Each structure stands twice: as structure tokens, then as C-alpha cells.
Chains A and B, each alone.
Chain A
Amino acid sequence: MNIDELKIAWKAYDRKLQSTQAINEKIIISMISERSGARFARVKQRYLIGFLWMAVCLSFGFAILLGNPFDYDLTLQYVPTVIYCACLAILIISMVRSFMGLRNITISHNNLDVSLKKIIAIYEKPRQFIRYIIIIFLFSQVVLFPLSFLPRGIERMGLWPALGERLIPIAIAALMLWIAHKLGAFKERHGKDFRNDLNELEELKALSSELSDGE
């Protein structure tokens, strides 16, 4: 058998498809409704949980800024909480933008190469951006937040003893994060999804380079 014979087989298959019964219009309408409904319900639910969690965290930040429960005297002491609130606000904005982007996704006007590149960009851009935000967020909470109590300590015991005292909560927080990391708390929670994302990304990159190869 050669390629020309395959063409004959393909034509036979084409004829077979042309002779199949037309698809009922109700089936077409219902499959669109079902698919759109199920997908957006899932996406909305995921985003709603994210928004609620972040809104609760953000309200804690605002409570600190407005109510001053830690009796801060200096404006500088509010910096970690301001960073905390700013990081959460950025994450919320990023989520809103992704949500709006998801709602508008259509691949009609993109050819294959363009759409693959677009998908790769969608995968890579927020991940990198969110990683930076999370690093800043953790740094502000693990290091800067304990240091916000330093002025009071200096008043009580002087600079070096106060710095030494502040190193204790920083070390404990850092140790807890390290232990959590070692126990797989960050990795395992969405580890499988993350690995799947990475595999998909690698496959997309391979397909994209396969298309570009030879130009």
C-alpha cells in the first residue's frame, strides 16, 4: 500500500461521513449550552473561592491599618501591612483580569502557530508574576512584620538586644516555612495540577517549535 492508496481510503471515509445522518439541531444547541454552562460554573466557583479568601485576608490588613491593634507609633511600622495589602490587591486584580480574559477567549482568528504562542504566554506570564508577588508577600510577613515591633524593643532594651529578640520570631517563621516546604505543603496541595501544567507547557513548546522548524 502506498500514499495514493491511502488517499483512496480517505475518500471512502469522506464519502461515509457525508452519508451519515444530519445532526439534530437540538443536540447542537444543547451541547453548546451544557459545555459553556459547565465550564463557566467551574471557573466561577474557583474564582469565587479565591476572591472570598483574599477578601478575608485583605480585611485583616485593613483592620490593622485602620484600627492599629499593635499600637504602632511610627508610619514606618505600617510598611509590612501596606505591602501585605498591596500584594493581595495585586493578586485580586490579576485574578479579575484572568477571569475577564477567560470569558473572552476565542481561538477563531488565530491560526495554529499564533494560538499556541498565546497559550504559552497565558501559562508563563501570570505564573512568573505571581511568583514574584508571593516572594514579596512572604518576605514582608516573615521578616518585615516581626521587625515592625523593633522600635518598642529598642525603647525597652536597646538596639542589639531588641534585634536579637526580633530574630527569634523571624527564625521561627522561617523554620516553619522551611519545614512546611520540606513536608510538601506547598508542592502537594496543587502539585499534580502544577506538574500537569508544566507537562502541557512543555508539549505546547515542542509543538510550537515543530511548527517554526524549517522556516
Chain B
Amino acid sequence: MRLTGQITSMEKDFIAMINTHRGIIYKVCNLYGHEKDYKEDLFQEIVLQLWKSFPAFRQESMISTWMYRVALNTAISSFRRAKKKPESQSLSMAALEIPDMTDADEHARSAMLESAIQQLTKIEKALVMLYLEEKSYREISEIMGITQSNVGVKLNRTKSKLEKIIKADNNEHR
């Protein structure tokens, strides 16, 4: 891909797709990143991974399913980058703002949601995110690479864990 010059039709399609579904990438970055630098780094890495796999994407699955799969894969398997400061702040990132969860209209609820989700493991975070997105067990199974029955078992466990966390948080705030 060139930095300058004319944009090809594939690049245009890719950019349009990223923009249509930018919320998916923002959400994954916010769930898996605490610091601004890391969120931006992760955003960039997810876009790169999507770009690399874009030519092979044949729309056998829904775009959102494919994007979730790539974004979650990248977020979960990118431990090393979390430990290293970026060598230099890129020019492009200066122009990108990843909205925080707590910027949402219902501030108190959003803060509670963010705090509760951050206490979950990486896999549980992915499950809760897909559950909140109202994805079917079949879609969750496709994204996570586990059986539908396993999705059911894990989701129930994760929901119970989340309820306990919320309960504890509620008691703390009273």
C-alpha cells in the first residue's frame, strides 16, 4: 500500500469497510487497552491485520464476524506490544481519537460496565462483548473457535461472574 498517490478500488473498499465498522475496532481497543498509547497501538495493529487478510476475505462469513475474529485474535495475542513503548508516536495516530466507554451518554452505567468488564479475563471479555452485541451462539462459536455448547457453558459462567462483580461494586458504592 502506498502512502501517497492514487487510491485503488480495493483500498477504497477497505477504507469504507473500516469506517462502516469502526465501532468494532474501537470497542475491542477499549476492552483490551488501559492506556491511550496501547489502545492506539492496538488499533493500528488491528487495521494492519485486517488489511493483510482483506484480499483473502471472500465474504463467506459476515463482515462483522470476520472483523470481530481478526480484532479479538489480535488483541488477545498481542502481549508483547503491551510491554513495549512505541518507538515513536506515528503521525497518523495523532489524528485519531478512540472514544472512551465512559464518554457515552449514560456515564454512571458506562463507568460501572467498564469497571466490571476490566475485571474479567481476556477470553471472558471477548465472550461478554459478543453477548452484549447480541451475537448468536453460532456466531460466537465461529468467532471464538469453540463449540456452541462450550459457548453456552462459558457464557453462563461469565455472566454469573459479571453479576457477582456488579453486586460487589454496587455494595461498595452504597
A5 to B169, CA, bound (A): 14
CB-nearest residue of chain A relative to B45?
A35
Are A6 and B76 CB-contacts (below 8 A) given A31-B93, A106-B49, A211-B145? no
Find out whether the CB atom of B109 lies under 8 angstroms from the CB atom of A111: no
Selecting from A10-18, A128-136, A179-187, the interface stretch reads A10-18
Find out whether the CB atom of A23 lies under 8 angstroms from the CB atom of B77: no
Question: For window 1-38 of chain A, which residues contact chain B by CB distance below 8 Å?
Answer: 1-3, 5-10, 12-18, 20, 22-36, 38
Give the interface of A toward B (CB within 8 A): 1-3, 5-10, 12-18, 20, 22-36, 38, 106-116, 119, 196, 200, 203-204, 207, 210-215
A17 to B15, CA, bound (A): 17
Per a CB cutoff under 8 Å, which of B7, B56, B99 touches A109?
B56
Return B134 CB to nearest CB of chain A, in Å: 8
CB-nearest residue of chain A relative to B170?
A1
- Besides the known contacts A2-B166, A35-B44, 18 further A-B residue pairs in the complex with CB atoms under 8 A apart: A9-B112, A10-B132, A10-B133, A12-B104, A12-B106, A13-B104, A18-B23, A27-B95, A27-B96, A29-B1, A29-B7, A31-B43, A31-B48, A34-B91, A106-B49, A107-B74, A112-B144, A115-B77
Return A112 CB to nearest CB of chain B, in Å: 5
A12 to B132, CA, bound (A): 12
A49 to B159, CA, bound (A): 50
Find out whether the CB atom of A107 lies under 8 angstroms from the CB atom of B44: no
Give the interface of B toward A (CB within 8 A): 1-3, 7, 11-12, 14-15, 18-19, 22-23, 26-27, 43-45, 47-53, 56-57, 66, 69-70, 72-74, 76-77, 79-80, 83, 87, 90-93, 95-97, 99, 101, 103-106, 109-110, 112-113, 116, 121-123, 126, 132-133, 142-147, 149-150, 153-154, 157, 159, 162-163, 166, 170
The secondary-structure label for the interface of chain A is helix
Find out whether the CB atom of B1 lies under 8 angstroms from the CB atom of A32: yes
Find out whether the CB atom of A28 lies under 8 angstroms from the CB atom of B106: no
Find out whether the CB atom of B90 lies under 8 angstroms from the CB atom of A31: yes
